[in-house]
A and B are shown apart, each in its own frame.
Chain A
C-alpha cells in the first residue's frame, strides 16, 4: 500500500510542482552577463580604423560560396565544410544556391565545354565584389583530362581566378590555406585603386 502511495501520479505532480515553484522563487533576478573580461575601450564602444581596413575586414570575414561543384573535388570541399575542418571558422559555412547571394566561387571539379556556359553565367550573375578559388588540378589546368576533346583546360579560360589550390584533390588543409591566401589578398584591396 505504501509503495502505491509514493508512486501515485498525484504525488509525482505535487513533487514536480514544488520543484518548479522553488526554481521560480530563486530566479526572480536576471543573472549578470559575464563581461568582466571586456577592455575599457570596448566598453566605451570606440574603435579607430580606416574605411579600407573596415571594409576589407567585413568582406574577407564572411565570404559566401556559390554552388559550383562539377566533380570529385566537391567531396574534399564537403569535408572542409563539415565539422572536422569547419570553414565556419572563417564565417563562410553558408553555401549559396543562388549566385546573387554569393561572392566566392570555389571551382571544385573538372569542367567540360558543355557545362562551361553555365559556369560563366553563374559567375556573371554574382554581385561585385567577387572572387574565384580554382580548386584542384582540373580547375587549374584541366588536370589529367587536359588533352580531352571535351574538357576546359583550366577555369581561367572562362573566368578570372584569384587563388590556385593544387592537388588531386587538394586536402581540406590545402583548401583552407587557399582561403587564408584569398583573405590576405582581400585585406590589401583599397577603395582608391580597388587592388585588382
Chain B
C-alpha cells in the first residue's frame, strides 16, 4: 500500500529549505505559494529521500475567491504519495507556472484545466484547448459558468 506522507511534515522541511514558501498545511496536503511552486516541485522530485518521480494527476477546484490546483504526486520507487496544492487569484486571467518541464504527464492535464477553468500555465509548450473546440466561449467547470 502506498503511504501518504504527512503534508505537515513535508511543509516543515520546505519551510527550512524555502522560507515563506508554505501558505497552509494539514496532515493530508500542503499549499505552496505560487512563486515557489516550481522550486518546491523540483525539490520534491529531485531529492533522493522524497523522489516524487510520478505525477499521477492534476485537478482544479473553483472556490469563487480563488482557484486551487492540486498536484497528486507519487514516488514509484519509495512507494509514497503527497498532495501538493497551489492557489491563484483573479477570474480574468488566473495563472500558475507550468510543471511540464518536470513531469511530462502535466502536458494534457494542464491543457484540460486551461480549457475548463481558464487557468493559464506559464511556460507550457502548447497551451490550447484540448476537450472543447477552438472558439468556445467561456470555461464550463467554473462555478459562475451558465
Contacts and interface: CB of A to CB of B under 8 A. Distances in A.
Nearest to B137: A149
Interface string B112-146: 00000000000000000001110000001000010
Contacts of B131: 114
A75 to B, nearest CB: 24
A114 B140 CA distance: 15
Interface residues of A, number: 4
Interface string A124-164: 00000000000000000000000001100000000000000
Interface in B69-92: none
Nearest to B129: A114
Contacts of A114: 131-133
A28 B56 CA distance: 73
A113 interface: yes
A113 B135 CA distance: 13
Contacts of A113: 133
B140 A149 contact: yes
A113 B131 CA distance: 11
Contacts of A149: 140, 145
A150 B137 CA distance: 11
B138 to A, nearest CB: 8
A149 B133 CA distance: 12
A164 to B, nearest CB: 28
A150 B129 CA distance: 14
A149 B146 CA distance: 9
A110 to B, nearest CB: 14
A150 B133 CA distance: 10
A113 B132 CA distance: 9
A113 B145 CA distance: 18
A10 B53 CA distance: 69
B112 to A, nearest CB: 13
Nearest to A149: B140
Contacts of B133: 113-114
Contacts of B145: 149
Given A114-B132, A114-B133, 6 more contacts: A113-B133, A114-B131, A149-B140, A149-B145, A150-B132, A150-B140
Give 8 nearest A-B pairs by CB, closest first. A149-B140, A114-B133, A150-B132, A114-B132, A113-B133, A150-B140, A114-B131, A149-B145
8 contacts: A113-B133, A114-B131, A114-B132, A114-B133, A149-B140, A149-B145, A150-B132, A150-B140
